[in-house]
Amino acid sequence: MRVTSLVAGLAVLFAACGGGEQGAANDQQTTAAPEQGASGAGAAPAAAGATHDVNMVLEGSSYKYVPDQLTIKAGDVVRFHNVSGGPHNVSFWGDSIPSGAADALKAGMPDQMAPLEGQLLTEPSAVYAVTFANAPTGEYKYYCLPHLALGMKGRITVQ
Ligand SMILES: [Cu+2]
């Protein structure tokens, strides 16, 4: 519910060409501009930045993301690999991401089961890629839906 109002609020902000607080997000729109020009036809967001890899594993009796902390830049892509102990997924907490991030992730997360909730990876070696195009700087905390109670969590910092 909170996410919905956040997204709706953002849409208004962008439509109104941004307020002062959204200055950073607006700056980054310039970076993400190739998304329209380069591959306008495709539904998948264009990847302009670097690619990072995070493995989702079961080690002993603990489920974890490896690495569980990662620093990236806006425009980068993080590929989550289903290595062992699946199914796993990537879900971001709506209240633990920067202002404006829900809108960026809405576009950057394919096949969401719910807002900010990535699809479950059941197949061995399956990969789920999150594109941080247009992503505001700050901390993005996320968790694995099936293993949240078992402490499977991670954090991405966008600089
Ligand atoms: Cu998991």
Give me 100's structure tokens: 């404006």
Neighbours of 117 (CB within 10 A): 18
**Residue 105, pLDDT score:** 98
- pLDDT tens digits along 67-107: 999 999 999 999 999 999 999 999 999 999 999 999 999 99
**Residue 27, pLDDT score:** 44
**Residue 90, pLDDT score:** 98
**Residue 25, pLDDT score:** 41
**Residue 5, pLDDT score:** 45
Active site residue 17: no
Which of 90, 47, 39, 93 is CA-nearest to residue 72?
Answer: 47
SS3 state at 55: strand
CA torsion sign for 89, 128, 78, 30 is negative
Active site residue 88: yes
Give me the residues of the chain with pLDDT under 70, please: 1-48
**Residue 117, pLDDT score:** 98
In the set 52, 81, 88, 109, the catalytic residue is: 88
Active site residue 147: yes
**Residue 26, pLDDT score:** 42
Active site residue 52: no
> How would you list the strands of the sheet with 153-158, edge to edge?
69-72, 153-158, 138-143, 91-92
pTM confidence score: 0.70
Query: What residue ranges define each of the domains in the chain, with the CATH number in brackets?
Result: 2-158 (2.60.40.420)
Q: How far is the CA of 67 from the centre of ligand 1 (A)?
A: 14
